Amino acid sequence: MMRSTKQKIAASLFALLTLCIALVCYHLFSALPLAKLPVEFAIDQGSSLKATAAKLRHDGVLDTDWSFVMLARLTGKTKQIRFGNYLLEKPISRFGLLDMISKGKTDQSQIQIRIIEGTTFKDLRKILDEHPKLRHDSTALTEAELLQRIGATEQAAEGLFFPDTYYFSTGSSDLVVLKTAYKTMQRHLEAAWQNHDQESQLSSPYEALILASIVEKETGKASDRPMIATVFLNRLRRGMRLQTDPTVIYGMGEQFDGNLRRRDLTADTPYNTYTRYGLPPTPIALPGLESIRAVMQAPLGKELYFVAKGDGSSHFSRSLIEHNQAVREYQLKRK
């Protein structure tokens, strides 16, 4: 009698355990209850597993985050999360989602698009046009038509697309890539603008984007970005010309042959900051987040000039006399 009771209890426990395992498997392998498709989401560099799961829940990708964290720990993928921007175009399970964003994933249905800081819009279009696994829907579109298709309100496309790593399904439209990068830039730009220096000479996020693109092209050493931003903001505050070579080069377009001459600095174009005051009409490249932050929160200082030292870094000066001395010193070193 006692043995029969124990057998029944054991059978019940086994059945309960089997049911629990089945429910867990169903939870992990069934499709996530996404409100709509496609769904865009981003994983920030350096985010912990818990922070990532919480953000995925906030973005509407996960309904609960605890099971996703548990799954990552059980599969040993806690430290294998790959940062970047993602697009879900079809239903996916928790297990599939983890597999998608894990480091070392090999999935032929996923492609990676890497947009580098300082890239121009022209170069970005060329990269997308030549990508063999994208659907090329923007190739025949004018710049204005392209901007309209992705929902952008700006008149020029330069600078509007955030440099980052993006993941898409094979066969995705290049317009989807551009729209995702555009929305990502808007998100970062708006967040940075909330904390911008109220005393700054910049009157809008777009003006900050323009200056950030100049800082991006002028920076040889990452740690110099904030001070380079300070120099340009000080010049704007004093009503000085920015006098920055990258804007001149951008304005020359196809005429630039790799050698900037004195006559190029005096030939007026809307982007020649040697002949014109203020900011150029548009950005000159795609600035990264560090350049955007440098412009929004530039350190206080009286520096008005800088010159390349030849090792990637710059020397900063407060007066023209000091600057000219630095130019002679570092130019002589290079010779």
Over residues 29-78, the pLDDT tens digits come to: 577 777 777 787 878 766 788 888 888 888 888 888 888 888 888 888 87
Q: What is the reported pTM?
A: 0.75
320 inside domain: yes
Which pLDDT belongs to residue 1? 52
Q: Is residue 15 scored above 60 in pLDDT? A: no
What is the per-residue pLDDT across 249-270, written as a single tens digit (0 to 9) for each?
A: 999 999 998 889 999 999 999 9
Q: Do the Cβ atoms of 281 and 271 come closer than 8 Å?
A: yes
Residue 287 belongs to domain spanning:
199-334
274 inside domain: yes
User: How deeply is 229 buried, as exposed, middle or buried, from its count of CB atoms within 10 A (0-12, 13-18, 19+)?
Assistant: buried
Q: Is residue 79 scored above 50 in pLDDT? A: yes
49 inside domain: no
Give the separation between CA 142 and CA 173, rounded to whole angstroms.
16
321 inside domain: yes
300 inside domain: yes
260 inside domain: yes
Region 165-194 average pLDDT: 91
Nearest to 144 by CA among 127, 132, 156: 156
Give whichever of 40-44, 99-103, 139-143 has the largest mean pLDDT: 139-143
Give the separation between CA 55 and CA 62, rounded to whole angstroms.
9
Which pLDDT belongs to residue 81? 82
Which pLDDT belongs to residue 106? 38
Both tokens assigned to 38 = 């496609």
Q: Is residue 18 scored above 70 in pLDDT? A: no
- Domain count for the chain: 1
Percent of the chain with pLDDT over 70: 87
> Which residue intervals of 30-112 are DSSP H helices?
49-58, 66-74, 94-101
- Between 10 and 140, the more confident residue is 140
289 inside domain: yes
129 inside domain: no
Which pLDDT belongs to residue 128? 95
Region 106-128 average pLDDT: 85
Residue 255 per-residue DSSP state = G
User: How deeply is 304 buried, as exposed, middle or buried, from its count of CB atoms within 10 A (0-12, 13-18, 19+)?
Assistant: buried
